A = this chain, B = another copy of it.
C-alpha cells in the first residue's frame, strides 16, 4: 500500500545555482549533498512537510539525468511513493499493465529498496516505489 510521497526528483544543470534558488526564493534549507556514482549524479536534499525534494545534477554526459536535461530541460523528473511492501506494490503495478524498469528492487541509500515504473506506462510520470528493507528482503536481494 502507498503510504505517502517520499520525494520528488528534480533535474537541474547546476546544483549550486538550484540550491541558491530553493534557499533564497522559497526559503527552504538544504539538508545535505551526496554523490551517487551508480546514477552518475550529485544530489542535494530539501524538505517541505514530510516530502523531500531531491535535486539531481549529472556528473557525466551519459548520466540518465544528462539525457533528461538534453531532451526536456530542467524540471520535475520523478515522483517516489513510499510503500510498506515494495514487492506487492510492483506486482500490483505489473498486473495493471505497467512496465517495470526493475523486476527486483534495487538497494538504495539509507537502507531503502527502490524500483521504477516506465513513464510510458504511467501516463507520463516516471514513478518510483521505495520502502525500508525487511529482514527477508535483506537476505534475498543481492548487494
B-facing mask of A23-54, CB < 8 A → 1, else 0? Answer: 01111100000000000000000001111000
Q: From B21, B48, B75, B122, give the contact of A21 (CB < 8 A).
A: B122
Smallest CB–CB gap between A21 and chain B, Å? Answer: 6
Contacts of A26 in B (CB 8 A): 2, 81, 92-93, 127
Smallest CB–CB gap between A87 and chain B, Å? Answer: 14
In angstroms, Cα B96 to Cα A143, docked, is 44
> Quick one: closest B residue to A117, CB to CB?
B25
Contacts of A110 in B (CB 8 A): none
> Quick one: closest B residue to A78, CB to CB?
B76
Contacts of A4 in B (CB 8 A): 48-51
Extra contacts besides A5-B8, A5-B48, A75-B123 (7): CB < 8 Å: A1-B27, A4-B49, A11-B124, A49-B50, A72-B72, A75-B76, A76-B125
Q: Tell me which residues from 78 to 119 in chain A have a Cβ below 8 Å from any Cβ of chain B.
A: 79, 81-82, 89, 92-93, 96-98, 117, 119
Contacts of A92 in B (CB 8 A): 24-27
A3 within 8 A of B: yes
